[in-house]
Amino acid sequence: VSRTTVVSAYDLLREDDWAESRPGSGTWVQPVSGSRSSRRQDILARSLSRNPVFETLLTGPNSMIDFSRANSGNPEGLDPELFAIQGDDLAQLLGQPGYAPMGLMALRRAIADRYTCTGVPTTPDQILVTTGAQQAISLLATLYVQRGDNVIIDNPTYVGALDAFRAAGARLIPVPVERDGVRVDILRGLLAAARPQIVYLMPSFQNPTGAVLGHEQRREVARMAAESGTAVIEDNTLADLALDGEAPPPLAAHAPSDAPVITIGSLSKLFWAGLRVGWVRAPESIVVRLARLKVVADLGSSVLPQVIAARLIPQTDHVKELRRRELLPRLDLFGGLLGELLPTWSWTRPTGGTFLWVRLPYGHAGEFAQLALRYGVIVTPGTTMSVDESHTDYFRLPFFQHPDNLREGANRLARAWDAYAPFADAGSRAVSVIV
């Protein structure tokens, strides 16, 4: 390897994105055709300083396929220059103090206008810009939850929500999610019995199940929020990734304007997570209280990505179509491979989002995930996404990755399953004999 190659590879490593172990969701490591984590990067950088022959480390058989998350960059077909900040943007921004605790007014207006145009009348005063949907959840947890308070949460659910509510000291009360979304009848009973501070749901393309809550059920949940006065969060982070048609209107569309229905949105999936632009839409009285927490948390997110975000939001419909064109062939590809290579695994084809919720015919997904690591694939077992360590026979696979990753990952999963299945099957048969 020439010195030039080493130096340019080293530069590449330095410039690269960083990804980290997320508590409870495994390590985010380099996909074969994606970005490299910097934990790995650091190891590589260090080994590089001892040994310039590093290339097999980068591309060799040790490279992990990271199926612990979907892996979206910016949308194919959208002009990258829309993400630029230059000339006029800078002239308007620089010289300003640069603090915008609730978000730039231009962005809050764009978000509000988008809701209004899709049938949910909204003013900018109802919008608080956050550093991604995760900060929205985290601020809401801080606002509503004191140690020991009850929180009802769909189960399984987004791990970042579990983390945020647990960090706030919540007692988490699971409400099951089935093929048609969260069980609203059970939710009604729990609301009366547990008197929670807050309810957290993901009604559209639920993470991890992909389930979509129907119109009538949404109406009922909105009614519950209005009648009980209990705050209901709808996390619509994945709602724009419909593969076929559209997600139903948000819960907020069915609620009186003063009902405590809190909608979380994000540009991370549709446009790009590196913007870290999310928001809360809620009655103004809630937004005002949340804004005070935002001030204490960070005095406001950076205004630069917000200028970009304000420009991107009017592109939403166009980009939904672009994403659809990216996602559908990948779902078809990955679904086909799994059907062929792993015919005993079961899953329902989702109508949106980025994940398959896969059920093993026998065995324990946590054990299988451990074994899969040795075959070079990182997968997240269902227990990690469960309030109560349930869903032991499920795990989550992303189909939103580079096609090369999907192909190689499916093959590795098949090899791992070949190694795991006989033992797991024997185990399950042994158990059935004993019982």
Near its own copies in 97-126, by CB under 8 A: 97-106, 109, 124-125
Cα–Cα distance, 398 to 328 (Å, whole number): 13
Cα–Cα distance, 293 to 257 (Å, whole number): 23
Q: Give whichever of 230 and 401 is closer to its own copies, judged by the CB atom.
A: 401
Cα–Cα distance, 184 to 190 (Å, whole number): 10
Residue for token pair 């957290």: 200
Q: Give whichever of 102 and 413 is closer to its own copies, judged by the CB atom.
A: 102
Q: Give whichever of 69 and 218 is closer to its own copies, judged by the CB atom.
A: 69
Cα–Cα distance, 320 to 328 (Å, whole number): 12
Of 135-174, which residues contact its own copies (CB under 8 A)? 135, 138, 147, 160, 163-164, 167
Cα–Cα distance, 164 to 14 (Å, whole number): 31
Minimum CB separation of residue 65 from its own copies in Å reads 14
Instruction: Collect all residues with Cβ–Cβ distance below 8 Å to 132 and sequence separation of at least 6.
Output: 266, 268, 273, 276, 277, 278
Binding range to its own copies, per CB under 8 A, among 69-77, 209-217, 218-226, 382-390: 69-77
What would you report as the CA-atom Rg of the chain, rounded to the nearest whole angstrom?
23
Binding range to its own copies, per CB under 8 A, among 133-141, 205-213, 322-330, 358-366: 133-141
Which one among 63, 122, 126, 134 touches its own copies, defined by CB under 8 A? 134
How big is the site for its own copies, counted in residues (CB under 8 A)? 81
Q: Are 362 and 394 in contact (CB under 8 A)?
A: no
Q: Mapping DSSP to helix (H, G, I), strand (E, B) and coil, where does residue 177 land?
A: strand
Minimum CB separation of residue 42 from its own copies in Å reads 8
298 lies in the site for its own copies, by CB under 8 A: yes
CA 205 to mean position of chain CA atoms? 11
Residues 242-271: x where in contact with its own copies by CB under 8 A, - otherwise, as a string: --------------------------x---
Residue for token pair 């900060």: 135
Q: Give whichever of 220 and 235 is closer to its own copies, judged by the CB atom.
A: 235
Q: Give whichever of 302 and 316 is closer to its own copies, judged by the CB atom.
A: 302
Cα–Cα distance, 331 to 397 (Å, whole number): 11
Q: Mapping DSSP to helix (H, G, I), strand (E, B) and coil, where does residue 35 land?
A: coil
Cα–Cα distance, 7 to 58 (Å, whole number): 15
Which one among 61, 95, 148, 245 touches its own copies, defined by CB under 8 A? 95
Q: Give whichever of 102 and 152 is closer to its own copies, judged by the CB atom.
A: 102
Residues 313-352: x where in contact with its own copies by CB under 8 A, - otherwise, as a string: ----------------------------------------
